Chains A and B, each alone.
Chain A
Amino acid sequence: MEILNVKNLRKTYVKGFIPKKQLVLKGVSFSLQPGTITGFLGGNGAGKTTTMKCLLGLAFPDSGEVEYFGQKELTSQIKAKIGFLPERPYFYEYLTGMEFLKFYGQISTKLKKHDLNQRILSLLERVDLIHAKDKALRDYSKGMLQKIGLAQALVHRPEFVILDEPMAGLDPDGRYYLSELIKETASEGTAVFLSSHLLHDVEQLCEHLVVLTGGNVVYEGLTQKFLESMNPSIDISYVDSGVGKTCSVPKGEALQLKIRELLKSNFDIMEIKENKISLEEAFVNTALRKDS
């Protein structure tokens, strides 16, 4: 069963003193499978956060359908299966780390006090904040807030987690620990839906992608396929009359033709190397293609 199935989501915001309509989502559709980590990519203003808010019932779409675990309504039972970390997390700064997680744990689970405490302590260990559990959140650094925010999203053992920019503001160590925690969460069967501008991290973490440009989904599928769809070129190094030369050809039939041609001309082929395209390049290419 799909964790989430979004069909043709449209959302308009009315802004300004003289009300002006702005169509933010123009028919967004995609689905998520259990136990997968899906990257949600898009430039600023592409509609990522709006989509997430529509999924969580924080904003109301004009039209479209969202199915959660096969059900069409976002009931309290469904919400209890979802975790959420917003972008730039703002939390109750007067609470200590422990109180904060207890508060979210109590409203989301039916765990007994002792079991909930155990769960919180183990999460605090995992996000490396056990030393700060009795410290007020107002004294946490940005990175610490990001970590406690993730712990908050996971405290009730959700089956589906939405993370909006979870790596923002973290140092390399923090990003590594958080990546490991996200992988571990997915390996336990939780579907992770992650939005990030740090495309290197997304490439490392996400096996699936949903790419949003201008309120439309322009790609949905495997990350690997997305990269391959960019037609990365192949460099062929060969020796022509004692001089080393290199030529670039696109993958596929053109490559085969070029190899045959070089062999026919009795050139020595020294190396055939694929020019790997990064997710960042692939994303920029997609965005540019869409813009043009």
Chain B
Amino acid sequence: MKVISIIAYNTFREIIRDRVLYGLVVFALLLIGMSLALGQLSFQEQSRISANFGLTGIHLSSIVLAIFVGSTLVTKEIDKKTILTLLARPITRVQFLLGKAFGLSGIIICVIVSLSIVMLFIFLNLNMAIDYRFFVALFGIFLEALVLLGVSLAFSSFSRPILVVSYSVGLFLIGHWLESLKFFAEKSENISFIYFSKIISNTLPNLEVFNWRSLPIYEESIAFSEVFNATLYSFTWFAIFLTITTIVLRRKDFG
């Protein structure tokens, strides 16, 4: 565990010292700032528009982090050959992978937390009620980012970053359209489309499960069991993708 935490800390430090992260945070802050301006345009729905925009900003930045940074997390170590000195040390390939994944997860948490602090100030400014729903929405964003981090890590174990990003974005879009796909399959009479829909729904992660961003906006309620199941769902997919990555990396020659 000590080795994993040291690698995770180093990964965290690597991303923190990268300018790309700050570009992303500035983008998210602009989006949140814009939410205030756009909210002003609406007479009655100001707080809802602001909350919607703000949460979308946090959601997008965490997804971009998971996909774009995740796609180069391992390949960068291989391309720059830093992996050679690292794996020559008392570190297993699984520990290396877990360290990298936890390091980026830490960054995603930090970005979500820091952007949500900005959001909280905006909520306070708009006299919006802040309750558990806001934090559940943020937790859902993190769970989705975790699954996508697993996806990009798994793809990066056998593909180049540009393709990894394409595959991951594809999976992100499919993951959000699965509910619609199921809906159309139910209405469809085409047998092959129904089977295709079933296969896709059962083999790919459904990312709409984590979409709780409407909770604080429309003051909807959510059962604890739903949050618990979604957490389990996210961790399971993350573990599946990490296992795939480990299997590929286990017998890979580096050099």
Contact = CB atoms under 8 A, between A and B. Distances in A.
Do A and B come from the same complex? yes
Interface of A: 13, 49-50, 53, 56-60, 76-77, 79-80, 82, 84-86, 88-92, 94-95, 99, 103-104, 106-108, 149, 152, 162
B145 to A, nearest CB: 23
Contact of A82 (B7, B17, B88): B88
Task: Tell which of A58, A79, A82, A162 has the most Cβ of chain B within 10 Å.
Answer: A58
Main SS of the interface on chain A?
mixed
B160 interface: no
A53 B90 contact: no
A103 B91 CA distance: 13
B84 A86 contact: yes
A95 B13 CA distance: 9
Interface residues of B, number: 24
Contacts, number: 75
A92 B17 CA distance: 11
B91 A107 contact: yes
Interface string B67-94: 0000000000000111011111111100
Nearest to B79: A90
A107 B82 contact: no
Contacts of A59: 253-255
Contacts of A50: 255
A57 B249 CA distance: 12
Contact of B255 (A53, A79, A92): A53
B3 interface: yes
B250 to A, nearest CB: 10
Task: Tell which of B18, B80, B85 has the most Cβ of chain A within 10 Å.
Answer: B85
Contacts of A91: 82, 85
A86 B253 contact: no
A161 to B, nearest CB: 11
